[in-house]
Structure 1
């Protein structure tokens, strides 16, 4: 079936629609269910998404206001994300479990301070561009509410993202576009990780030049839906690299059948009617080819048997789609110095009604090597009992479900604290006795700036140049100081240690 879809700009996409999900329509209830390749079920009513159900029984349910805006998502445990909207139906805020609030602002159609040189008539009344994301107060390393800002500076393409300013107020990303609106270059602050792009529509290629001037040409062709599909990557020779070629081939259903890597190694895929691989041959076409075969569940997209050379793995799944047993059988044939053919190992798994893992038993016979897990009423992990009966308990959590108090098998407690973004800021061992505190400090963008240990020692990280890009980073110990420098690919280029100071492991 050939289908045309229209964009808001007036252009359209036309192609052959192929079903890659299971679709069930109930004409009585007007409900439609889509089951994806990972067996996640999306349920719609009158075209509006109502719920998302995952293997194992975990469900997220969506709610809406009278205007059709999604006002919340509630999961199986009653945990809720809530959303609020402005007069134009634009998302204004999101409140996460724990009460932290994220806020969103937008650029209006006549905001000439941002859309410099843009004719307002180019921007429809329903057009808005995200201007900023305001993070919750109480974020480590930030004063007030850290904010990420988005820039739109291209007069020809007023809704094309041209830059991002991070929480430090530093422009750390820049994007430029060609006259056709396609990205021409991207880079981080100081020219770090700069990539440029050029296009040849006749040849169907895109050439990418990386920060070290190494070029790779990507070849595309149209698939059966009329969409571009990668077929070939040609790495161009350079001072430090030889030429390389990678290839991809697809069948009539657009599934990959063959891949050839840059060194000429070919992997071949045989597939069933669902597109699932029934055999994967590595080193295809050579005397040393290795085949792995798969048998798949009749309704779920999960394997029930995997056969590798020398090893067969059988997998059993419960009615909720969770792995309940794994059995490995040795199929090797060697007899010197001894034979292991036919020996097996098995693991079994159990779960609660919400899909949380309860036990793992195996591979020893009997139940003597079972690991047991418990969860609280909110689904958060409450305890772990290992194979020898030692118990670790979690006795307190924050609203995000992060543990704030843990007691180890020796009875020693550990308290943990987090900032408003959920980043660990301190751990206190034996809070009522020794009270050994380790603290972790961050800057506004989330980089660790210092780790302080209970004995007063610390590791301190500073950005020596290009704040926000991480191009130059220094690591200081309590007295020693180690310097590190990164190149335009953000890879470690140089590290030095003052000669008079002994090296210390980080």
Structure 2
């Protein structure tokens, strides 16, 4: 489909593409793309899985640059934006949506990550997402591993978001020219008015005592963010200087007029360097012919990452070299099941940690130093309907949890064993 025939608001995008394993129909283009080449890697959120982010930050598995910025934040509401170089769009944190094909649903998240859900006996499940998607009358409900619950209209628009802290946000839409207005409100009486374009990029934000206007260049790149608060105006500028790909973010100049971040890309559009002002935190990335990645930190130390294709998705299986500060996984290796969940992790000392999961993809057992006298097992029991642990059994302690109807923790009781 061409740019004039992209999905419109109020209707589902109907695609009939036959995609290979690991692929899914792209709602913006008549093509199949991989689910994991966009957004953050869900399995990199803890050290049970290897981190695939470097610098400020770059997903070095596929080479896409991602950027997270906060525009407004109060005690009960936050508006943020996420850039993804894989498509050059800046999405906001209430832009998650569903698109539908004749046999599946695609969830496009706020950070650009896309997951394909296929029908099953329990609803719709994804091979690359532990959450569940269910049809409820004329709407859809998604329950995520991070305790977030999302509700969508029949056409795929986000209508309600229940965050992990139990705050409920409701969204009301109205057409505004080629874009639309979204009123986001919660039970505390707070509300934010967003105006977005047809591609769900923010055009303006209106909050109590603050207004923000977003400007775009001829290539539809976000070029400036102008904020007015208490009669004081400030501007933040975004740069796109790559000569081969005009939608690649290459730098940001802050409200003081200081360019504090710079990125560079190769001809394939993959990010190859990240640095802050004065070359602080400089990181370089190279991509080899066998699909591996090599990350060089600011001290000149290299770490090599080797991958394998598992169920159509590129998974990190071996790390050699220097550890990263946030996840010291150097000289380690990993094996996975068909859903991309880690089965074993072998560290630099040769110690093996093994993992097992239930049918929902939730960890139910983890044994560290497997097969040695140091072996230590932790088991977890889960709420049958929600992604909430109700009992965790460790070698010397048992912890029991209870929750209210919204999933907020009510009690936590630990006893020695």
Question: TM-score range, shorter-chain basis?
Answer: 0.5 to 0.7
1:12 is matched with 32
Aligned counterpart in structure 2 of residue 198 of structure 1, from 286, 291, 304 = 286
- Residue 65 (str. 1) matches residue 174 (str. 2): yes
> 1:42: Cα distance to partner?
1.5
1:229 is matched with 315
- Residue 78 (str. 1) matches residue 189 (str. 2): yes
> 1:260: Cα distance to partner?
2.5
Distance 1:247 1:87 in 2: 43
Distance 2:173 2:397 in 1: 51
Higher relative contact order (Cα pairs below 8 Å, separated by 6+ residues): 2
Aligned counterpart in structure 1 of residue 408 of structure 2, from 319, 322, 341 = 322
Asked whether the equivalents of residues 209 and 230 of structure 2 are also in contact (C-alpha less than 8 Å), the reply is no
1:49 is matched with 158
- Residue 148 (str. 1) matches residue 236 (str. 2): yes
> 1:149: Cα distance to partner?
0.7
Aligned residues: 299
Aligned counterpart in structure 2 of residue 183 of structure 1, from 261, 271, 277 = 271
> 1:300: Cα distance to partner?
1.6
Distance 1:180 1:162 in 2: 15
1:211 is matched with 298
SS of the equivalent of 2:228 reads coil
Deviation by residue 1:213-233 (Cα, 9 ceiling, x = unmatched): 100011122231x23221111
Distance 2:348 2:233 in 1: 47
SS of the equivalent of 2:278 reads helix
When residues 138 and 246 of structure 1 are mapped into structure 2, their CA distance, relative to the original with a 3 A threshold, is: farther
SS of the equivalent of 1:108 reads coil
Distance 1:181 1:218 in 2: 19
1:305 is matched with 391
- Where does the alignment leave 5 or more consecutive residues of structure 1 unmatched? 110-127, 238-242, 332-506
1:346 is matched with none
When residues 178 and 137 of structure 1 are mapped into structure 2, their CA distance, relative to the original with a 3 A threshold, is: same
Alignment of 1:103-502 (within 5 A): 103-109=213-219, 128-138=220-230, 144-201=232-289, 203-224=290-311, 226-235=312-321, 244-331=330-417
> 1:30: Cα distance to partner?
2.2
Asked whether the equivalents of residues 93 and 103 of structure 1 are also in contact (C-alpha less than 8 Å), the reply is yes
> 1:57: Cα distance to partner?
5.3
Distance 1:212 1:198 in 2: 16
Asked whether the equivalents of residues 148 and 166 of structure 1 are also in contact (C-alpha less than 8 Å), the reply is yes
> 1:9: Cα distance to partner?
6.3
2:56 is matched with none
When residues 303 and 87 of structure 1 are mapped into structure 2, their CA distance, relative to the original with a 3 A threshold, is: closer
Asked whether the equivalents of residues 163 and 175 of structure 1 are also in contact (C-alpha less than 8 Å), the reply is yes
Asked whether the equivalents of residues 249 and 257 of structure 1 are also in contact (C-alpha less than 8 Å), the reply is yes
Q: TM-score, normalised by structure 2?
A: 0.65
Distance 2:206 2:194 in 1: 7
* Alignment RMSD (CA, Å): 2.8
The structure with the largest alpha-carbon Rg is 1
Asked whether the equivalents of residues 210 and 230 of structure 2 are also in contact (C-alpha less than 8 Å), the reply is no
SS of the equivalent of 1:316 reads strand
SS of the equivalent of 2:284 reads strand
When residues 266 and 147 of structure 1 are mapped into structure 2, their CA distance, relative to the original with a 3 A threshold, is: farther
SS of the equivalent of 1:190 reads helix
- Residue 22 (str. 1) matches residue 101 (str. 2): no
SS of the equivalent of 2:24 reads strand
When residues 107 and 99 of structure 1 are mapped into structure 2, their CA distance, relative to the original with a 3 A threshold, is: same
When residues 70 and 280 of structure 1 are mapped into structure 2, their CA distance, relative to the original with a 3 A threshold, is: farther
1:422 is matched with none
Q: TM-score, normalised by structure 1?
A: 0.54
> 1:307: Cα distance to partner?
1.3
When residues 194 and 252 of structure 1 are mapped into structure 2, their CA distance, relative to the original with a 3 A threshold, is: same
- Residue 102 (str. 1) matches residue 212 (str. 2): yes
When residues 236 and 66 of structure 1 are mapped into structure 2, their CA distance, relative to the original with a 3 A threshold, is: closer
> 1:55: Cα distance to partner?
6.0
Distance 1:136 1:252 in 2: 50
> 1:80: Cα distance to partner?
0.3
Deviation by residue 1:220-266 (Cα, 9 ceiling, x = unmatched): 22231x232211111069xxxxx951112111222111222344333
- Where does the alignment leave 5 or more consecutive residues of structure 2 unmatched? 1-18, 36-115, 118-124, 324-328
SS of the equivalent of 2:287 reads strand
Distance 1:14 1:168 in 2: 39
Question: Once structures 1 and 2 are overlaid, which stretch shifts more, 259-268 or 280-289?
Answer: 259-268
Distance 1:4 1:77 in 2: 39
